[in-house]
């Protein structure tokens, strides 16, 4: 249903899938899945909450590795993808802090690694699953894969996705040293941006985009404003409850409207990381259509 500029070519997808399959033996050969004390960063938040920009800024500021657009093509052989990213010096190239609805361009730019997380967490869609789903996830295997990626990187790896946030409490039991970055933003502004994403990707603001809460099918006959309001209110409450119950872990919140201040707080707190040249003061841009904003404000903040 995507518009032509967002369509994936099936021949390219088949080629990359075959490449992954043929590299599985090499992946096993070069992987070290033993325990490591190096903590990784895991970024998440509501769609359009600034997770991509926060990822880009932290990739720039920290002496860290990340899932590059190149590495993301190796979702079944991520250590191979990390090795190639290092060999090609992709982590030395400057980031442009640009993206289009979370998608970046260029082999070295950060990627959400969706295929990897969907495979490892046993998802075939971004519909949140009940707690019982966790019995279908091989948590030990996931831990070993993340350890292997970290060993190959030789430093902290920065991830950005939402699927692990669906199971954050269990995920952190296997990744107790993880650093979690929870991105937040004014809900009506998020809603307006989600509406823009629907129109851009599908040419139709009534087509659902991004994560799906329980009972979302019951809202398919509702107007787009009501759909988006339900989507964001449900996940906002869900994530807030998750975070509140996990105060014993390394969790930081970043508010989009005070991005520079919160990023500096994180950097100062994580003093063990080597800083790079500081990025210029970042003032996020917010597009507002007054009519749409008013509708969402009434639906989301009442």
Residues 6+ apart with CB under 8 A from 216: 127, 208, 227, 230, 231
Instruction: Say how far apart CA 206 and CA 184 lie, in whole Å.
Output: 25
Q: What does pLDDT average to over the chain?
A: 92
Which of 155, 300, 150 minimizes the C-alpha distance to 236? 300
Q: What is the CATH number of the domain that holds 122?
A: 3.40.50
Which of 270, 240, 276, 277 minimizes the C-alpha distance to 40? 270
pLDDT, residue 286, reads 72
> Domain for residue 256, yes or no?
yes
If you count them, how many residues does the chain have?
302
Range of the domain at 137: 38-300
> Domain for residue 32, yes or no?
no
> Domain for residue 43, yes or no?
yes
> Domain for residue 273, yes or no?
yes
Q: What is the pLDDT of residues 114-163, one digit of tens each?
A: 999 999 999 999 999 999 999 999 999 999 999 999 999 999 999 999 99
> Domain for residue 30, yes or no?
no
> Domain for residue 11, yes or no?
no
> Domain for residue 280, yes or no?
yes
**Mean local confidence (pLDDT), 219-245:** 97
> Domain for residue 100, yes or no?
yes
Q: What is the total count of domains within the chain?
A: 1
Angle subtended at Cα 107 by Cα 105 and Cα 112, rounded to the nearest 5 degrees: 70
């Amino acid at each position: 249903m995507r518009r032509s500029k967002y369509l994936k070519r099936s021949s390219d997808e088949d080629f990359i899938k075959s490449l992954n399959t043929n590299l599985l033996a090499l992946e096993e050969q070069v992987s070290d899945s033993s325990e490591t004390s190096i903590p990784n960063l895991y970024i998440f938040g509501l769609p359009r909450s600034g997770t991509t920009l926060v990822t880009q800024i932290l990739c720039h500021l920290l002496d860290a590795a990340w899932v590059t657009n190149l590495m993301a093509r190796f979702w079944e052989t991520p250590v191979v993808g990390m090795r190639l990213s290092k060999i090609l010096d992709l982590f030395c190239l400057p980031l442009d802090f640009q993206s289009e609805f979370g998608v970046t361009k260029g082999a070295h730019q950060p990627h959400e690694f969706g295929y990897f997380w969907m495979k490892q967490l046993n998802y075939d869609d971004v519909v949140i699953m009940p707690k019982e789903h966790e019995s279908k996830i091989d948590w030990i295997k996931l831990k070993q894969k993340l350890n292997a990626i970290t060993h190959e990187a030789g430093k902290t790896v920065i991830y950005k996705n939402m699927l692990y946030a669906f199971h954050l409490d269990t995920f952190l039991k296997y990744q107790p040293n993880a650093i979690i970055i929870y991105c937040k933003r004014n809900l009506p502004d998020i809603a307006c941006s989600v509406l823009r994403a629907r129109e851009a990707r599908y040419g139709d603001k009534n087509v659902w985009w991004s994560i799906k809460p329980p009972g979302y099918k019951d809202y398919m006959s509702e107007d787009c404003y009501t759909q988006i309001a339900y989507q964001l209110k449900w996940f906002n409450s869900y994530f807030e409850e998750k975070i509140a119950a996990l105060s014993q872990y390394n969790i930081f919140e970043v508010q989009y409207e005070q991005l520079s201040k919160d990023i500096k707080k994180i950097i100062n707190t994580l003093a063990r990381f080597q800083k790079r040249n500081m990025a210029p003061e970042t003032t996020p841009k917010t597009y507002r259509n007054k009519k749409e904003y008013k509708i969402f404000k009434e639906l989301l903040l009442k």
